[in-house]
Amino acid sequence: MNQKPQNQSKPVNPYADLAAADCHHWKAMIARVNEPAVAQLLVEFLDSEPELRAKRSGVYLAAHATLDREDQVRKAVQAREEKAAAYGRIVATVVRGAVKVVRLCFALAGTAFKVGSKVASEALQESASRRTSVAHPAPSVEPVANELTFPTTVPFEAQSADVALDVPTTGAKIIEWPPIVWPEGDRANRVATH
């Protein structure tokens, strides 16, 4: 009554062709087929044994799938790293450009300030020399031997303050170079003409 049918066979042991130690090692390797290093070893081993590869085609395909996934992950990581490096280069280029622009602006501003100061200084000196040039009247008497002759105009130059005369109407000082010794009467005439 509880007899087994005669046509039923025993289940096939997939590891029957392996020795006991190899069987244990093989089972451990198959259990770790999802690890890329183990999958690489399995693929290399099964590629070298074509008959075994035909018998273990499921393991071979699982190992290849693991390697494909690992390759995709590696490519994705590499693509992210390349993208980050490209963004880093772009940011570095923009920052370097901005620094150059700022430096150029400061350099131009400094140059413009220097040029503007120089032009303004020259313009002020020129206008001041026009305003402070003094036309001296010709002496009415012949110069005496101990008196010095003097030019008819004296340019204003701010570089030397050796001789300064106070002008009573404006309070400004006239600076003369080279120093000229004015006779007393002529100085009074000169100050009075302003």
Per the structure block, which two tokens stand in for 165?
A: 């005369």
Tell me how far apart the alpha carbons of residues 81 and 101 are, in angstroms, rounded to a whole number. Answer: 30
Domain edges within the chain: 15-99, 133-194
Q: Has residue 35 got a pLDDT over 70?
A: yes
163-166 and 173-176 strand pairing: antiparallel
Q: What average pLDDT does this structure show over 40-63?
A: 83
pTM of the model: 0.39
| Joined tokens for residue 37 | 């290093």
Residue 83 pLDDT more than 70?
Answer: yes
Q: Does residue 28 surpass a pLDDT of 50?
A: yes
**Residue 83: is it exposed, middle or buried by C-beta count within 10 angstroms (0-12/13-18/19+)?**
exposed
Each as own residue / partner, the long-range contacts of residues 82-91 (CB below 8 Å, 24 or more positions apart, any chain) are none
- 159 pLDDT tier (thresholds 50, 70, 90): very low
- CA 121 to CA 17: how far, in whole Å? 105
The per-residue DSSP string of 41-69 comes to HHHHHHHH-HHHHHHTHHHHHHHHHHHHH
